[in-house]
Structure 1
Amino acid sequence: MSKELKSGYTTGTCATVAALVALDLLLKKELEDSCILTTLNGTTIEVPIKSKKRLGSWARGVVIKDAGDDPDVTNGIEICAKVKIIDELPDIKKAHRFNNILLVGGRGVGVVTKKGLKVEPGKSAINPGPQEMIVKALTELLEKYGMNHTKLLVYIYVPKGREKALKTFNGKLGILGGISILGSTGIVKPMSEEALQNSMFAELKVLKENSDRDWV
């Protein structure tokens, strides 16, 4: 009887928890050693918190990526978030802008340079799924404390992101300077054929979008 492979959680889930930890530290300091989170596919998981620290007007959360039994090059690395409460959202070209949240990829998070991906060129390589997770989680926490209109600056960064990106398809896809923050569900399925197909499809789409050749 074959052993059932263990699932893990995506870089998007890690980034969401790290950002939640940071905002919680700025507000009420309720989170201790772990965070309960409902992912995009409705799965409720408990994610360990590696560390958290308040730095003046900023707070930082750090989560270790756990890919389960999937051979993911990002397994075991730190996914970090810094959050700051601000009066006005600054103009940062690579950022993803929402009503009251500015989401930016920092050190070790790549920048998209080619057409054909889920993120437009010039923006931080934080995919729509993780964007949704992060904004939803932070918005719900603000609402919990009656701070609905509070503006947040959120940096997601990965200290080993540049190094790990060299072992991914990012260079071929035109994502430069680091890894992508990914996850359409929030959960990593080990040895997933779907993940491999998605990677191949993304590469082909980028080739098509950035080629002068007519594709049939």
Structure 2
Amino acid sequence: MSSEVKGGRRAQLEHTGLRPGWTTGACATAATTAAYTALLTGEFPDPVTITLPKGQTPSFALAVEELGDGHATAGIVKDAGDDPDVTHGALVRVTVRRLPAGAGVVFKAGPGVGTVTRPGLPLPVGEPAVNPVPRQMMRDHVTEVAARHGGSGDVEITVSVDHGEEIARSTWNPRLGILGGLSILGTTGIVVPYSCSAWIDSIRRGVDVARAAGRRHVAGCTGSTSEKTVVAEYGLPEDALLDMGDFAGAVLKYIRRHPVDRLTICGGFAKLSKLAAGHLDLHSARSQVDKGFLAELARRGGADEALAAEVADANTGLAALQSCLAAGVPLGDLVATTARDEALAVLRGAPVVVDVICIDRAGTVVGRSAPA
């Protein structure tokens, strides 16, 4: 067996502004192409060029080459560009083995790649977590390599990611029932920096898993503190908790199309005041706490003009809340109720009961709506 590990070279991409990168699916496809080519010819193409679903043809440098009897392995270091991706720098390895004629293409999960253990995902239980689009990309490239070099196209593809099980702890995979490592993802092959598409896709898969498990009540939570709050309030299991982050709109729009009986939204008071004001993206770079709006809510709750002015001039949303609490004005409940009404408006009559819980940084409930 020959083995060579090469350091430091990455696929390059012409860019302006933030630099795009490559999905794990694109890396696995490139590694598959290189390994199968070597299995048929004895030589690894380096760099190896693939065709992405939208026609782009990037080239990838190989970080690992291993050629054995009836199998070959290639590895590529994932470059996520300027996206804050937890898999940036991960080494994606693919081993291709010959199978008998007629066997087709079979996928296996190697070390660091997860296995599906719960229904609701786009793969059956027991399958390696290699998503449908990357699978098709790999099949297509196997077919092309076979046609070019006289192979049958009947192969076993084992995808591995170095340290993937450890990296997966920072992802949604354990909650979604993908155990043992990462998922091999991607629909275009390209990672668009700060597109947030992966997070939103995880929210959708979380809803799918909860529905498949028969959960009738789910919770969209802005973080771990709010998750603890809804578990204490309702005893919800882990697979009913949606790590919503700042993407309230993503939760609401997907549940509008895929309803559950009840949705609880739980998060920090200031963040949910943005939802109450009509913002569906709660990130601080894309929406701000509107103290004038809070002052108007305070007036509805009985605040006099002096208190309303204090709220409007407050340094933070929490300071505004504290002023109202001291005066007996239920600003937290007003924010929660108004946020609930905004959520119902986005749901557009979908048969979902909604309630909202506002908390402070310590996880204390400072406002709640009635279910509606």
TM-score, structure 1 normalization: 0.88
- SS state at 1:5 partner: coil
Q: What is the match of residue 74 of structure 2?
A: 61
> Residues 108 and 88 of structure 1: is their aligned pair in 2 closer, same or farther, counting only changes over 3 Å?
farther
Q: How many Å separate the matches in 2 of 1:201 and 1:192?
A: 16
Query: Match for 1:106 among 97, 110, 117?
Result: 110
Following the alignment from structure 2 to structure 1, what is the Cα–Cα distance between the partners of residues 157 and 46? Answer: 21
Q: Distance in 1 between matches of 2:208 and 2:143?
A: 33
CA positional deviation for 1:81: 0.7
State the SS of the aligned residue for 1:18.
helix
Task: Say which SS state the counterpart of residue 129 (structure 2) adopts.
Answer: coil
Higher helix share: 2
Q: Give 1:42 shift.
A: 1.6
In the alignment, the residues of structure 2 paired with residue 102 and residue 32 of structure 1 have an alpha-carbon distance, to the nearest angstrom, of 23
CA distance in structure 2 between the partners assigned to 1:183 and 1:150 by the alignment? 23
Determine if the alignment matches structure 1 residue 130 to structure 2 residue 143: no
Q: How far apart, CA to CA, are the structure 1 residues paired with 2:117 and 2:66?
A: 33
Match of 1:96 in 2: none
Unaligned 5+ segments in structure 2 are 1-15, 217-259, 262-350, 352-372
List runs of 5+ in structure 1 lacking aligned partners: 90-98
Equivalent residue, structure 2, for 1:5: 18
Please say if residues 49 and 62 of structure 1, whose CA atoms lie closer than 8 Å, have aligned partners that are also in contact.
yes
Question: Is the Cα–Cα contact under 8 Å of residues 9 and 65 in structure 1 kept in the other structure?
Answer: yes
Aligned residue for 1:84?
A: 97
- The match for 1:37 is 50
1:24 corresponds to 2:37: yes
Q: Deviations over 1:57-112 (max 9, x none)?
A: 211101001100111111101100111113267xxxxxxxxx62111111111011
For 1:153, what is the secondary structure of its paired residue? strand
1:184 maps to 2:187: yes
Describe the SS at the equivalent of 2:83.
coil
Contact 2:91 2:161 (C-alpha < 8 Å) held by counterparts: yes
* Structure 1 Cα separation of the partners of residues 43 and 52 of structure 2: 20
Residue 207 of structure 1 deviates from its aligned partner by 1.2
**In structure 1, what is the Cα distance between the partners aligned to 2:42 and 2:82?**
33
Q: Matched residues in 2 for 1:166 and 1:178: separation?
A: 8
Q: Quick one: distance in 2 between partners of 1:65 and 1:81? A: 13
Match for residue 162 of structure 1 among 140, 162, 165? 165
The partner residue of 2:61 within 24, 29, 48 is 48
Look up the equivalent residue of 1:184 and give its one-letter code: T
| Separation in 1, partners of 2:78, 2:203 | 23
One-letter amino acid matched to 1:131? R
Q: Offset of 1:212 from its aligned partner? A: 4.4
Does structure 1 conserve the Cα–Cα contact (< 8 Å) formed by 2:38 and 2:45?
no
Q: CA deviation at 1:55?
A: 2.0
> Given the superposition, is the C-alpha separation of residues 192 and 136 from structure 1 closer, same or farther in structure 2, using an over 3 Å criterion?
same
Alignment-derived partner of residue 238 in structure 2: none
Contact 2:35–2:44 at 8 Å: present in 1 too?
A: no
- Secondary structure of the residue that 1:73 maps to in structure 2? coil
Q: Give 1:195 shift.
A: 2.7
3-state secondary structure, aligned to 2:50: strand
Cα distance in structure 1, aligned partners of 2:215 and 2:208: 13
SS in 2 for 1:162: helix
Contact 1:33 1:50 in 2 (8 A): no
The alignment's C-alpha RMSD in Å is: 1.7
- Equivalent residue number for residue 149 of structure 2: 145
Is the 1:111–1:122 Cα contact (8 Å) retained in structure 2?
A: yes
Distance 1:16 1:121 in 2: 23
CA distance in 2, matches of 1:100, 1:121: 20
More strand by share: 1
Distance 2:158 2:25 in 1: 13
- State the identity %: 36
Which one has more relative contact order, counting CA pairs under 8 Å at least 6 apart? Answer: 1
* 1:31 CA displacement: 4.0
How far off its partner does 1:53 sit?
1.3
